Amino acid sequence: MNATKFMQDFANFVNAGFPYIYIPSYEEERITNAIKNTISNKDLIKIDRKLYAWTQTDGLVSDDTKVRDTSNPINAIESVAKSNEDAIYIFKDFHIYFGGDRNSRPDYAVIRKLRDIIPTLKSSRKTIVFISSKLVIPCDMEKEISILDFSLPNEDEIRTLINELIDGLNPENVSLTEDDKTLLSRSALGLTMQEAENAFCRAIVNLKGLNKNALSIIHEEKNQVVKKTGVLEFVKSDLDINDIGGLENLKKWLIRRNNSWSEKAKEYNLPAPKGVLITGIPGCGKSLTAKAMSAIWGLPLLKLDMGKIFGGIVGSSEENMRKAIATAEAVAPSILWVDEIEKGFSGLKSGGDSGTSARVFGTFLTWMQEKTAPVFVIATANDISSLPPELLRKGRFDEIFFVDLPTSKEREKIFSVHLKKRMKNSNIHHEIEITDEICRELANESIGYVGAEIEQIVIASMYEAFYADRGLRKDDILKSIRETVPLSSTQREQILALREWAKERAVLATAVEDRESAAPDGNDDGDFVNHQGGRIVDFDL
């Protein structure tokens, strides 16, 4: 949402006579300017409105007037109610009175007063706008307060900032091409204007001017900011598509959607993809795929921790979700990895958290449905039977994949991936060659083992060989397989339940060729046939 969209939405709220608008943001100055621009735009708001701002230190102030004795919030609210002016009142930091400060409780007198004046506000041209760094809304006022998001600065706005900063520098100390400026502006996406300014100023001090090396300082700052959201982090990984053994169907689907946000794709009239839900048995490569996506598409990967979304006081879960969405959009094009999505929304059924889950879920769903920013969502889930059906409806995710226990062909590939990874140092003489036959033999010996277990088997056998002071042998691996009890052996019921769920709803991540190739080993009992006609391979128990 750019500033113009904000102005339009703001004007709509004001024209419709909404009494309270809440804008969760740190960017008081940019918002105040946008509000000023909206009021002075006759196409947006026809009837003149005066603008007041309230802070605890100054009380109500407008350009030419300071209203006496209004630093007390109740006095300020009373003064708004009594005034005959058509006006917009910006109240700053009211989250404190709504109980949003770590140590504060809701101030019921203030809340009561705000509720008392609702009829007065509705029958006049007066709007109160709360700008707060935190989104905290008292339960009693939920219906009366409309939330409006103010987007982080876009590339053009940051470019303007860079140009303004350059104007203040000695030209000798600036070495930036237009392309460099584009690179720098893009790198600062996701920061507030203030944060971007701080980061660039820090770069100017460090570099005694401004040049392309500012990039690393901006990245550092951005990492900090993303971390500070408390729920998001940048995931850097050197994994790529070759690190995923099997799951060819899923990989093919993802590769096909590369560049889907390019101008070329738009010209081709392709809709931008929304995202994918990858479900299935733990340890089979869901997170691995999410991490490898960053390299496959060459986009930054942001991981959203669902558990942490629901960590704090009332109201903050919603705010956490909004912040995460805003940050992911600001760094777009990007990939937002929602890890263990079931953790966030499984509380919906129990209804034990007075509607918080439902509101956070609503925010997420609406965003998934309406998002236009190029943020591709990869949601991963181990237990998705508890996910609400709304999330699985068409229009949310483009596809739902099910990652089953690896088939024999896939285990072959997984062994190959991990053996190659561990044996790449040519100075060490290993007593095994990574051939198709050997990988097939290992795969046949490891029915029911997941990728994570195969990785651990390879590592454990390397330890054995290292301890014996020699290279790795096939027998080390076979021994390690025998000594590992696969989790699937004790979880037959859960796995069958997952498969049953997936039967109707999901597409298999395993390619048809890999599924069929498992048939001759005698273990393919085919627990069911999914809607693509692919059989899911059973495992020996």
Q: How far is the CB of 473 from ligand ADP (least distance, A)?
A: 22
Q: Cα-atom radius of gyration of the chain, to the nearest Å?
A: 28
> Do residues 458 and 422 touch, judged by C-beta distance below 8 A?
yes
Query: Residues in the site for ligand ADP, rule: CB under 6 A?
Result: 244-247, 282-288, 380, 414, 417, 451-452, 455
Q: How far is the CB of 387 from ligand ADP (least distance, A)?
A: 16
d(CA 471, CA 178): 54
Task: CB nearer to ligand ADP: give 243 or 329.
Answer: 243
Place of tokens 């971007």: 196
Q: How far is the CB of 420 from ligand ADP (least distance, A)?
A: 11
Place of tokens 């909206």: 38
Q: How far is the CB of 430 from ligand ADP (least distance, A)?
A: 20
Q: How far is the CB of 416 from ligand ADP (least distance, A)?
A: 9
> Do residues 318 and 135 touch, judged by C-beta distance below 8 A?
yes
**Which residue sits closest to ligand ADP, CB atoms considered?**
451
d(CA 373, CA 102): 33
φ, ψ of residue 54 in degrees (nearest 5): -120, 130
Q: How far is the CB of 261 from ligand ADP (least distance, A)?
A: 25
The size of the chain, in residues, is: 541
For 306, the token pair is 């669902």
d(CA 152, CA 301): 19
Q: How far is the CB of 63 from ligand ADP (least distance, A)?
A: 57
Alpha helices in 168-207 (DSSP H): 178-187, 193-207
Task: CB nearer to ligand ADP: give 322 or 409.
Answer: 409
Q: How far is the CB of 510 from ligand ADP (least distance, A)?
A: 10
φ, ψ of residue 507 in degrees (nearest 5): -105, 140
Place of tokens 């129990």: 350
Task: CB nearer to ligand ADP: give 121 or 336.
Answer: 336
Q: How far is the CB of 120 from ligand ADP (least distance, A)?
A: 55
d(CA 39, CA 45): 6
Task: CB nearer to ligand ADP: give 80 or 341.
Answer: 341
Query: Strand 301-305 relative to strand 232-234: parallel, antiparallel, unpaired?
Result: antiparallel
d(CA 76, CA 130): 13
Could you report how far apart the first and last alpha carbons of the chain are, in Å? 54
Nearest to residue 132, comparing CAs of 173, 179, 98, 82? 98
Q: How far is the CB of 340 from ligand ADP (least distance, A)?
A: 9
Beta carbons within 10 angstroms of residue 63's beta carbon: 9
d(CA 410, CA 449): 11
> DSSP of 324-348, one letter per residue?
HHHHHHHT-SEEEEEETTHHHHTHH
